[in-house]
Amino acid sequence: MERITFKGTSRFSDAQLLGYLGMKVGAPYSQTDLQGFATKLNSAGVFTQVSYRFAPTWAEFEVKDNPRLLPMRLENIVWLSQVELDRELKARVPLYTTGVPLEGELADQVARAIEAVLKEKGVDATVQQMPFEEEGSGLDAVSYRVVQPKVEFGSFAFQGAGEETSAALMKAVASTVGTEFNWSSVHAMADHTLPPVMQEHGFLRASFSTPNAKPASASGAAVTRVAVVFTVLEGAQYHIGKLALSNPDPMVQESAKRLSQIKTGEVANMVAFRKQLSELGGEFLAKGYMGAKVHADPIFDDAAHTVSYNIAITPGDLYRARDVEMKGFDEAHLEQIRSVWKLKKGDVYDPSYARNFLKTDGAKIPFLQGYVCVWTQKISDDDKAVDLTLEFKKPQGIR
C-alpha cells in the first residue's frame, strides 16, 4: 500500500502506530491483515474506538483516544528513578506516554518492560500491576510492584539532623526495618510520622526534602534491603515565650491551670502542648459543654527563637442527657443494666461515661463480661440535649 494513515489521535504519530503494528508503507495487506491490525490497536487499551477503510493502494484507520490514561505508581521499584524508567519505557513500549489504561494490553506490556529493564541491572524480578485507589477518591493510578524478590526496609539515615533529633527520628521508624518497602510509606513518614518528632524537640519549622531510597543488597539476593535517606532542614529551635489566656471566666481560669506545666523558656514541645490543649477541651466535654472550643494562636519571634500563644477557651452551652436507649438483651437483663447506670435524664451530659461504662459500673454485672458497648450520641443544639443509644454485643469470634 502506498499510503497508511491514522486519524483521530492527538497522542500518537503515524510513525509510532506503524511501528507498534509492524506495518510498512509499500507492503501489500489484505482485508484480513487490516482487521488484525485494527484488533491489535483496540486491544492495547489506549483507544476507545478503532475502525478502518481501505482501497487497493491505501488504508486509513480512524481511532478515538482513551481519555482515561492513569499515571504509573511505583510501589517498591528502587533500582532506578521514575525519570529513568520513563525513558526506558518510551524506548521499549511504542504506545507508552507516561500514562496507562485500566484495561487492555498496554499495562501488562509496561510490566514486562520493567522486568526487562531490571533484568539488565541484574535483578530477576517479577512485576505485578493492578489498579490503585486512594481511599474515597476513586481509581487514580496503575500500581506496579515487584513481588519477587521481596523488597524490605533495611536502614534509615537523617542527613542534616542533630545527634539528639537523629536518634529520636530513628526511634520513630525503627519498627519499620524488615517490613515490606513501599514508596507510600516513605512519603507518609516524611509527611506525618517525622514532623511531630521535630516538633517535640522545638524545631517547629523543620522540613524534609524528597527522600532517597536505594537498594543496599547485592544483585540476586532473595530479599532486597532498601536504604532510605531523609534530608532534614532543622531550622531554628524554638522555646516557649508567653502563654496568655483570653477568657477571664473563673471556671476557664481554673481549668487552664494545667497549662502551668508549660514553662517560659523551655524547649517548645508542640506535641505535648497540643495534647494538653486536647485534654483541656476534654475536661469541658466531660462537664457537659459539648460545643467547647480550645484554640491557640502562635506568635513567633524569629529573632529570639521563641513562640508565644494566645489561648482562647470558649465553653459554650451546657448540655444535658435527654434519653438513653439500650439494646442487645431482653428486658429483664436490660433492667439490671439500668439499675447500675448513673447518667439519668436531665443530668449534665458526660460523653466519657458511656465510653467507660463497662469498666466502671458495668463491671458490677457478671453477664456483661466479654461484651462490648457500641454507643452513639445524637446532639440537639436547639434543645441543648443529647440522646444516647447503647448496644451491647459480643465481639466477632467470641461465641
pLDDT in tens, 199-233: 999 999 999 998 999 999 887 788 999 999 999 99
Which CATH superfamily is 3-65 part of? membrane protein fhac (3.10.20.310)
106: its cell numbers: 498496554
pLDDT at 23 over 90: yes
Contact 263, 191 (CB under 8 A): no
d(CA 79, CA 99): 21
Q: Which fold has domain 239-314?
A: Ubiquitin-like (UB roll) (3.10.20)
Q: Is the pLDDT of residue 134 over 80?
A: no
Contacts of 119 (CB under 8 A, 6+ apart): 125
Q: Which CATH architecture has domain 150-233?
A: Roll (3.10)
Domain spans in the chain, listed from the N-terminal domain onward: 3-65, 70-148, 150-233, 239-314, 320-393
pLDDT tens digits along 260-288: 677 889 999 999 999 888 888 888 888 99
Of 330, 399, 340, the C-alpha closest to 365 is 340
DSSP 228-247: EEEEEE--PPPEEEEEEE--
224 contacts: CB under 8 Å, gap ≥ 6: 78, 123, 149, 150, 151, 152, 181, 215, 217
136 pLDDT band, cuts 50/70/90, is low
Q: What does the pLDDT look like over 90-123, one tens digit per residue?
A: 999 989 987 899 889 999 999 999 999 999 999 9
Q: Which uninterrupted H or E stretch holds 294?
A: strand 293-301
140 falls in which pLDDT band (50, 70, 90)? confident
Q: How far apart are CA 63 and CA 261, in angstroms?
A: 70
Do the domains spanning 3-65 and 150-233 agree at the CATH topology level?
A: yes
CATH class of residue range 70-148: alpha beta
Judge residue 51's burial from the number of C-beta atoms within 10 Å of its C-beta, 0-12 exposed, 13-18 middle, 19 or more buried: middle
Q: What is the 3-state secondary structure (H, E, C) of 338-378?
A: HHHCCCCCCCECCHHHHHHHHHCHHHHCHHHCCCEEEEEEE
Helix ranges, 146-269 (H): 163-173, 183-188, 194-200, 250-255
Q: What is the pLDDT of residue 399?
A: 44
Question: Does position 290 have pLDDT exceeding 80, yes or no?
Answer: yes
Cβ distance 262 to 276 under 8 Å? Answer: yes
Give the residue-averaged pLDDT of 309-317.
Answer: 89
Q: Mind spelling out the 3-state secondary structure of 60-94?
A: EEEEEECCCCEEEEECCCCCCCHHHHHHHHHHHCC
Q: Is 90 exceeded by the pLDDT of residue 390?
A: yes
d(CA 200, CA 267): 8
Per-residue pLDDT, 186: 95
The fold of the 320-393 domain, in CATH, is Ubiquitin-like (UB roll) (3.10.20)
> Average pLDDT in the 82-88 region?
92
- pLDDT at residue 398, as a whole number: 44
CA atoms within 13 A of residue 90's CA, in its CB half-sphere: 10
Percent of the chain with pLDDT over 90: 76
